[in-house]
Amino acid sequence: MQNSNKTFCFVTNLSFGKEPTVKNRLIPYITQIIECGSSVILVTSDSEVYKDIDSNLFTHILNPSKKNKPSSFFGRTIFEWIEARNILMRVKKIDAEIIILTIPSMFLLFNAYLLKSENMYLDVRDLTWEYLSNKNLIHRASKLFFRLLVNRSIKFFNSIIVSNDEEADFFKKRGAKTQLYPNGVTQIQFENLSSLLEKKNSNFTVSYVGKVGLAQNLETLIGAAKIMNDIKFNIIGYGSEYSRLQNIVLSKGLTNIAFYKNANWEEVLHFYQESDVLYAQLQENYSGAMPSKLYQYLNTGRFVIYGGGNQAKKTLSNFSTNIVIPPCNIHKLVDAIKKVRELHIQKIDINNNLKIIKQNYIRENNVRKIIKECFKI
């Protein structure tokens, strides 16, 4: 990369501390840009400065939420709209040559016109408005309205950076220029995950690692645990559904499923190592998403079971050692776990998976291409 003295401003209304998927998406951008000699200003809703980047070229501006997000659909919409506008009005005062708005927050996109920047990019991790249910009249009408806002808003961006083919198709149909930066694993994660030792624990173990929210609907996993009481199940992560799921497990008297709220990377590696199956799921509404956690799963040498479809199913078809089942189907999940256990898979060949990840899904490598092609540094 050539040296540059530009100033980049990355904007999200989410928190690195609460949303590790956002951090995983943006940190490779930031570190690679700093290596080029450019300055980076990061605007997030964190309440504490991110300390893992030690450089005088990095500035972290905090914009913490002053109120809790409402639970109702309309209340949450109004709250996020106001919050997005407040963040963007603050960004207007920042002197930066290049501005990158990163979503899943659609309201940053809808209010992008406030910045009036001639060099602005949109980084997309999720098309959240597309996940609204067509079965709910209010949600269906809102989805149509939000699509109109998308059509109006994309003209303010030089280019749109997407994470998968479905997102690219969505914007291309609307005449937008797109660049693909798929989610994946960092170089150090790839090395750590590729070096996992053989499983030591003799108990057959199924683990979920990631966000514990509505989209994941982990009641499916709990239902499987109730049927397969001779198997150990782990839920590692936190989210809005964490306490409710714990209460369900307690009310059912299940002793073969354990929750781990706060796990650092070393602890996550341990859970990966001691698992036979790694499980993930997204409900039917999220069929256009490819959970970034799946790339870690595929990197571990453990068998992967995924409940979902479309984009993730298409991507997983290129990899070995995985089974894709319909989402939210307890019996299909039980059948898949039985199939893996009956195969007596102790040590599986993941050379194909590692080759694909190394060639296509190392975050730093993909960011270098984006920086060169989009930002010209």
pTM equals: 0.91
Residues 76-134 have pLDDT tens digits of 999 999 999 999 999 999 999 999 999 999 999 999 999 988 899 999 999 999 999 89
**Nearest Cα to Cα of residue 312 among 346, 282, 343, 271:** 282
Strand order in the sheet with 322-325: 257-260, 232-236, 205-209, 277-281, 303-307, 322-325
Average pLDDT, the chain: 93
**Do 7-184+362-373 and 190-359 share a fold?**
yes
Q: Distance between CA 144 and CA 121 in Å, rounded?
A: 24
pLDDT at 316: 95
pLDDT tens-place string over residues 2-50: 566 899 999 999 999 888 889 999 999 999 999 999 999 999 999 999 9
Domain boundaries, the chain: 7-184+362-373, 190-359
The predicted structure's pLDDT at residue 304: 96
What pLDDT score does 3 carry?
A: 60
Q: To the nearest 10°, the Cα dihedral for 191, 192, 197, 202?
A: -140
The answer to whether 341 touches 204, Cβ cutoff 8 Å, is yes
- Predicted local distance difference test score (pLDDT) of residue 332: 98
* One pLDDT digit (tens) per residue for the chain, 377 residues: 556 689 999 999 999 988 888 999 999 999 999 999 999 999 999 999 999 999 999 999 999 987 788 889 999 999 999 999 999 999 999 999 999 999 999 999 999 999 988 899 999 999 999 999 899 999 999 999 999 999 999 999 999 999 999 999 999 999 999 999 999 999 999 999 999 988 887 899 999 999 999 999 999 999 999 999 999 999 999 999 999 999 999 999 999 999 999 899 999 999 999 999 999 999 999 988 899 999 999 999 899 999 998 889 999 999 999 999 999 999 999 999 999 998 865 556 788 999 999 999 999 999 999 999 999 88
Residues 6+ positions from 338 with CB-CB distance below 8 Å = 228
Beta-carbon neighbour count of residue 357 at 10 Å? 22
| Tokens found for residue 84 | 């997005």
What are the phi and psi torsion angles at 132 (to 5°)? Answer: -65, 140
**Cα–Cα distance, 192 to 206 (Å, whole number):** 20
Q: What pLDDT, on a 0 to 100 scale, did the predictor assign at position 186?
A: 95
Per-residue model confidence (pLDDT) at position 344 = 67
The alpha-carbon radius of gyration of the chain (Å, integer) is 21
- Does the domain at 190-359 match CATH 3.40.50.2000? Answer given as yes
* Domain 7-184+362-373, CATH class in plain words: alpha beta
Give the integer Cα–Cα distance in Å for 223 and 232: 13
